[in-house]
Structure 1
Amino acid sequence: MSPTGIAILGAGIFAKEAHLPAIAALGATQSTLKAVYSRSIESASYFAKEAQEVLKQSQAPDVYHDSDETSNLDVLLARSDIQAVLVVLPITLQPSIILKALTAGKHVLSEKPVAPDVAGGLELIKEYEETFKPKGLVWRVAENWEVEPGYHVAGKIIASGKIGKVTSFNVRVVNHVPKDSKWYKTPWRTVPDYQGGFLLDGGVHTIAALRVILPSPITTLTAFSSLNMDHLPPHDTIHAVVKTEDGTHGIVELTWGAPVPSRSEEANNGISITGSDGWIWIKMTRSKDANGTEQNVVRITTKQVVRNEKGEDVGESETILEERVRGVEEEIRSFFAAVNGNDDGFGAPFAALKDVAWIQAGLTSNGQPVDLVKLISQ
């Protein structure tokens, strides 16, 4: 099977630091980067040069931008040698670009979130399901935490019954975003024109991980939201009490409003799931591989009740597993497989909409219960 001809739409930080290395890791047999688009010729040209080096291509991908009608996005999308596009653009731009690419007959992998809000997401999904899916076009949402191997390992441990019946869970995500952060200095994040700011942009990751880890989906949420750091409008913090379909309840804390780095570094960030026979602790951290090279990993620590032959509790055991972080690579691999007729179900737009619904509910609850199932069935 010949490599899929692709274009990357967007030349920002995440496209450079995450998508390019992931495409390189998958290898030239999976895809060939034919073109890159950005609003400015400068950013597109710089990205194209870097892409040639990272991907070890004989020539740089062609450059497209908004300052020349002969080299704009429409011209790129008209190319027959490009079968799929990876959309890595600001949140509010993505829906229109997704539809433009689908209309041009391209398969689409778009960065999370699926849309800025639930209503827009439902409309976009409806258009895809009715107009483009029947034509055989694939649209998937690039939510790397949904396919992160470490989270799947944790979910399988819980499903196997090692910690017994899940009784409660606790999630803590505390981030410090200074004004000199490369993420904050991205113009569309500095003055966001979408709900939640960093909560929407980054918070959907954690909710996607919970979809994979928990044995029952979250269906009800009661929360309060706030802005604690003035440079992070409109909100930077959500505290929520949530309940799953099977009645299990938990606490979820999401904030990008830590005042100093130590508040984040010492927060003990991660996901803990407690069961009747033990508990499991899941966190992203740094670790060394067999060659001594540091890498990002998901560390899964499982602690179980130990019982003697009489069934008496005599202590606890501990097992630690680590999986290298490679979600971006896996989401792109999954997308290429779907384009070639082997859909594993990951990256489904409606699943990603559940993550947006969670954040939207957290921002608007103001202490009142929100039915998440009802919210996405409007």
Structure 2
Amino acid sequence: MKSIKLGIIGCGIAATELHWPVLQKLRDKFQITAICNNTEPKAKEFSELVGGVPYVLDYRELLQNPDVEAIIIALPIYLNNQVTKDVLSAGKHVFVEKPLAANIEEARDLLEFGQPFPQVKMVGENWYFHPVFHRVKELIAEGRIGDPYAIFWDIFQRVTLDSKYAQTKWRIEQKHRGGFISDGGIHNIAALRLMFGRITAGNAFSKSINPAIGEVDTFSLQFETKNRVHGVLNIFRSPNGVSKNQLLVLGKQGSIAVEANKRIFVKNEQGTDLEETFEEDTSYRSEFEDFYQAIRNGKEVVSSFSKAYEDLHVLLTALDSANQFHQLGPQD
């Protein structure tokens, strides 16, 4: 099968550090034929990185290029809605970086707008392809820990002002709902739904510990899945003196612990039953291979607009309803 002629809109961190390293390995499937960035120095730099392809500063010019059949959108989240609509209207297949949109309303609008278009419509949620979370789902299905009943996922990872992500103005100004919580936390929601099914209910609290990185940097969600598995998702972006990324699944006959999205431990009363380490994250490659198969063979994409809408709806609904506490103790 012939390679796909690919255009890229947005030449920032996602394009240079996440997409390009994988696309280099998939030259038989993708050929970058044009790119766009609204500032010329960055456009020129990325053009040189990927082999000197033509670049433009206005994405509408790229949409008119007959040498482009599919487009990656790797822009600030608040731009996703309009640019994705324009890409679809131009008749191009689209791969838009997660989350789908800046808020629930724009995500719903984009979901409805895209339905009549026959092109492939995919969201870049690579955690739907993450080998570790697929392995956890497999272990649960095999009955290795019995019926799961509780989940605890703690992400305590400090974002400082010298972080490359904090250097992006649109993240600090939070032109999308949820700032660093939704930007990264959407991955966790997708992974939870992959492993345990739909999240149907919950309540949350949120705080701003360090206003310099946005309006919210601390989030804790207590939730229930459709299978009545209960869980707690903690995403803390301003912890001091602690760093942690651990997923713990409790089953009636054992437990699964995932450390740093790389190491899996299955334990029971007899001790450690299984220990596996995943040295390589193949999720980015897998999502682009899925995009290719959808375009060339008509395969249904895994990370669809509808899945991305549900992910965002769960996370932003929890944020919007956070801190609505009920009194537990007696009144004074």
Q: TM-score range by the shorter chain?
A: over 0.9
Aligned to 1:61: 53
Shift of 1:14: 1.7
Q: Distance in 1 between matches of 2:47 and 2:294?
A: 26
Tell me, yes or no, if structure 1 residue 228 matches structure 2 residue 220: no
Classify the secondary structure of the residue corresponding to 2:91.
Answer: coil
Aligned to 1:272: 248
Moved over 4 A (4+): none
Shift of 1:341: 2.5
Tell me, yes or no, if structure 1 residue 318 matches structure 2 residue 273: yes
Aligned to 1:68: none
Tell me, yes or no, if structure 1 residue 347 matches structure 2 residue 311: no
Shift of 1:231: 0.7
Aligned to 2:330: none
Aligned to 1:251: 232
Q: For 1:40-72, what per-residue CA distance to the aligned partner results, in whole angstroms no more than 9, with x for missing partners? A: 1111000111122xxxxxxx111111xxxxxx3
User: Which TM-score applies when normalising by structure 1?
Assistant: 0.83
Aligned to 2:170: 188
Q: 1:368 to 1:230 in 2, by over 3 A?
A: closer
Q: Distance in 1 between matches of 2:230 and 2:59?
A: 47
Contact 1:226-1:235 within 8 A present in 2 as well: yes
Shift of 1:83: 0.6
Q: Distance in 1 between matches of 2:79 and 2:100?
A: 11
Q: Distance in 2 between matches of 1:176 and 1:368?
A: 26
Q: Distance in 2 between matches of 1:153 and 1:248?
A: 18
Q: 1:302 aligns with which of 260, 266, 272?
A: 266
Classify the secondary structure of the residue corresponding to 2:55.
Answer: strand
Contact 2:102-2:175 within 8 A present in 1 as well: no
Aligned to 2:242: 263
Aligned to 2:289: 333
Aligned to 2:99: 113
Q: 1:40 to 1:21 in 2, by over 3 A?
A: same
Q: Distance in 1 between matches of 2:300 and 2:144?
A: 26
Aligned to 1:8: 8
Percent identical: 28
Q: Distance in 2 between matches of 1:317 and 1:191?
A: 46
Q: Distance in 1 between matches of 2:206 and 2:232?
A: 14
Q: Which amino acid aligns with 1:352?
A: A
Q: For 1:287-321, what per-residue CA distance to the aligned partner results, in whole angstroms no more than 9, with x for missing partners? A: xxxxxxxxxxx22211134xxxxxxxxx2342112
Classify the secondary structure of the residue corresponding to 2:167.
Answer: coil
Pairwise CA RMSD: 1.5
Classify the secondary structure of the residue corresponding to 1:340.
Answer: helix
Aligned to 1:22: 22
Shift of 1:366: 2.9
Q: For 1:211-231, what per-residue CA distance to the aligned partner results, in whole angstroms no more than 9, with x for missing partners? A: 1122x3211011111111121
Paired residues, what number? 324
Contact 1:162-1:304 within 8 A present in 2 as well: no
Classify the secondary structure of the residue corresponding to 1:231.
Answer: helix
Shift of 1:348: 0.7
Q: Distance in 1 between matches of 2:201 and 2:256?
A: 23
Contact 1:303-1:317 within 8 A present in 2 as well: yes
Contact 1:232-1:257 within 8 A present in 2 as well: no
Q: Distance in 1 between matches of 2:103 and 2:272?
A: 44
Contact 2:291-2:301 within 8 A present in 1 as well: no
Contact 2:35-2:47 within 8 A present in 1 as well: yes
Aligned to 2:135: 153
Q: For 1:50-107, what per-residue CA distance to the aligned partner results, in whole angstroms no more than 9, with x for missing partners? A: 122xxxxxxx111111xxxxxx322211122211000000000111111111111100
Q: Distance in 1 between matches of 2:157 and 2:226?
A: 29
Aligned to 2:218: 237
